[in-house]
């Protein structure tokens, strides 16, 4: 019973609403957080890829406009140096590009605005090695050692390595390294992340409120159904109790009917002899007159009284098993009591009892059935 009560409470609409509110809030919050993280990462990757690709396309365009394959074959000639300088001037015109380096196919710096780097080789640079192999690479971890030994510490700079290819032979003759300030790119990424997180939070809130409203309506209906079921249950219990009472009454009525049949038969068998006894007593009373037989008249009258009393008892028993309409009439209780005492004189005499009656002097007259009283 305790388990069923707990289950009913657990299944009520209010309990379901609380469970849904907690679980759905956790699930929606985790889903929104995971979705925002995935979208933010994808946006970051795509935006950075777009940023570096656009930078590489710009550098390739400037290479085709300002440089020549012979410049990489004879990088120390006046013409090559003039073209390298012109390329540098055009390249730094692009926003966020701070510095430009040019390498030959042997990973040797052939031009830089930092003269101390020209002629030095950096074979331990993995991004440079990948660029020599023909792949555009990006280094987000700018260091102050190695090729950046003479540069001011700018840890936020991003290095973009662009392979230099002329014509259709796809042979890499060199690499252009640009140093780009990613402040604007990362600011765009932060704005995109904020937008994604805000949108996810708003969408999660709207989803939670919508689902909560729907479940709340369902919970109210469940509560209403529970109340209706409980009401019907109480009605059924009351009807069941009433049915049991009716069944008990029917059983009692059947018993009373059986008893009534027996009592009727017994009363019929008793009343006929009583009628004969009374008739005989009345005849004997007529024969009693004055003289020695006068005392016998008292005994005969007692016989008649007892017969009448027994007849009354039989009528009472019949009225008990077969209730009849009560015949009420004005009744003096003192007179009724005196008559009852007269009927019981013989019993009192046999038992050696001297009864004494006492009644209030002003008893009211009542409406009752004298026989039933």
Give the range among 156-165, 169-178, 213-222, 288-297 with minimum mean pLDDT: 288-297
Count Cα atoms within 13 angstroms, Cβ side, for 328.
Answer: 4
Domain count for the chain: 2
Q: What pLDDT is recorded for position 144?
A: 57
Contacts within 8 Å (CB) and 24+ apart, 271-279: 271/311, 271/314, 274/307, 274/310, 274/311, 274/314, 277/303, 277/307, 278/304, 278/307, 278/308, 278/311
Confidence of residue 352 (pLDDT cuts 50, 70, 90): very high
Residues 6 or more apart whose Cβ sits within 8 Å of residue 229:
none
Closest by CA position to 180, among listed 110, 95, 93: 95
Phi-psi region of 272 (alpha: psi -120 to 50; beta: other; left: phi over 0): alpha
Residue 211 resides in a domain:
no
Res 166 pLDDT > 80: yes
Domain housing 348: 327-373
Do 192 and 331 belong to one domain?
Answer: no
Q: What pLDDT is recorded for position 7?
A: 46
Which one has a higher pLDDT value, 260 or 324?
A: 260
Closest by CA position to 13, among listed 233, 207, 214: 214
Q: What percent of the chain has pLDDT over 70?
A: 87
Q: What pLDDT is recorded for position 143?
A: 61
Phi-psi region of 352 (alpha: psi -120 to 50; beta: other; left: phi over 0): left
Res 100 pLDDT > 80: yes
Residue 229 resides in a domain:
no
Residue 121 resides in a domain:
yes
Angle at the Cα of 355 (from 370 to 359), degrees rounded to 5? 55
Which one has a higher pLDDT value, 91 or 173?
A: 173
Q: What is the mean pLDDT of the chain?
A: 79
Phi-psi region of 145 (alpha: psi -120 to 50; beta: other; left: phi over 0): beta
Residue 132 resides in a domain:
yes
Token output for 48 = 């950075």
Q: What is the pLDDT of residues 101-155, one digit of tens each?
A: 888 888 888 888 778 888 888 778 888 888 888 888 888 775 655 566 556 555 5
Token output for 346 = 């013989």
Rg over alpha carbons for the chain, rounded to the nearest Å, is 62
Q: What is the mean pLDDT of residues 232-258?
A: 86
Q: What pLDDT is recorded for position 53?
A: 83
Q: What is the mean pLDDT of residues 1-10?
A: 48
Per-residue buried b or exposed e for 33-65, using 16+ beta carbons within 10 Å of the residue's own CB: eebbeebbeebbeeebeebbeebbebbbebbee
Res 285 pLDDT > 50: yes
Res 75 pLDDT > 60: yes
Residue 35 resides in a domain:
yes
Residue 110 resides in a domain:
yes
Res 345 pLDDT > 70: yes
Chain center to CA of 7: 12
The CATH number that applies at residue 111 is 3.30.450.20
Domain limit, last residue, from 198, 233, 259: 198
Closest by CA position to 132, among listed 111, 153, 102: 102
Angle at the Cα of 259 (from 256 to 265), degrees rounded to 5? 140
Residue 271 resides in a domain:
no
Domain limit, last residue, from 151, 177, 198: 198
Q: What is the pLDDT of residues 15-31, one digit of tens each?
A: 777 777 788 778 888 88
Q: What pLDDT is recorded for position 146?
A: 57
Contact 219, 16 (CB under 8 A): yes
Res 212 pLDDT > 50: yes
Do 185 and 44 belong to one domain?
Answer: yes
Confidence of residue 361 (pLDDT cuts 50, 70, 90): confident
Residue 118 resides in a domain:
yes
Domain limit, last residue, from 146, 173, 198: 198
Give the range among 236-250, 278-292, 352-366 with minimum mean pLDDT: 278-292
Confidence of residue 9 (pLDDT cuts 50, 70, 90): very low
């Amino acid at each position: 019973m305790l388990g069923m009560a707990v289950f009913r409470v657990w299944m009520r609409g209010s309990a379901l609403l609380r469970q849904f509110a907690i679980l759905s809030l956790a699930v929606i919050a985790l889903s929104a957080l995971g979705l925002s993280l995935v979208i933010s990462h994808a946006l970051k990757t795509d935006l950075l890829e777009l940023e570096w690709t656009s930078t590489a396309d710009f550098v390739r365009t400037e290479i085709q406009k300002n440089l020549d394959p012979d410049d990489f074959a004879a990088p120390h000639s006046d013409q090559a140096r003039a073209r390298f300088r012109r390329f540098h001037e055009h390249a730094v015109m692009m926003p966020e590009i701070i510095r430009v380096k040019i390498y030959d196919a042997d990973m040797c710096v052939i031009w830089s605005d930092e003269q101390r780097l020209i002629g030095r080789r950096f074979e331990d640079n993995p991004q440079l090695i990948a660029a020599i192999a023909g792949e555009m690479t990006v280094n987000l971890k700018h260091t102050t050692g190695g090729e950046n030994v003479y540069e001011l510490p700018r840890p936020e700079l991003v290095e973009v390595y662009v392979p230099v290819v002329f014509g259709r032979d796809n042979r890499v003759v060199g690499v252009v390294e640009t140093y780009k300030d990613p402040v604007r790119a990362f600011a765009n990424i932060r704005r995109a992340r904020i937008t994604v997180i805000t949108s996810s939070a708003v969408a999660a809130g709207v989803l939670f409120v919508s689902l909560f409203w729907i479940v709340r309506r369902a919970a109210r209906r469940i509560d209403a159904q529970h109340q209706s079921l409980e009401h019907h249950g109480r009605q059924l219990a009351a009807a069941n109790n009433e049915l049991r009472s009716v069944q008990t009454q029917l059983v009692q009525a059947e018993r009373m009917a059986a008893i009534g049949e027996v009592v009727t038969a017994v009363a019929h068998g008793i009343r006929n002899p009583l009628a004969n006894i009374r008739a005989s007593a009345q005849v004997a009373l007529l024969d009693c007159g004055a003289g020695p037989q006068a005392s016998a008249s008292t005994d005969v009258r007692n016989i008649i009284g007892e017969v009448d009393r027994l007849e009354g008892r039989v009528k009472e028993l019949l009225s008990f098993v077969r209730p009849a309409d009560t015949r009420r009439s004005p009744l003096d209780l003192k007179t009724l009591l005196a008559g009852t005492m007269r009927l019981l004189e013989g019993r009192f005499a046999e038992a050696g009892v001297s009864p004494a009656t006492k009644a209030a002097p002003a008893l009211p007259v009542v409406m009752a059935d004298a026989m039933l009283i």
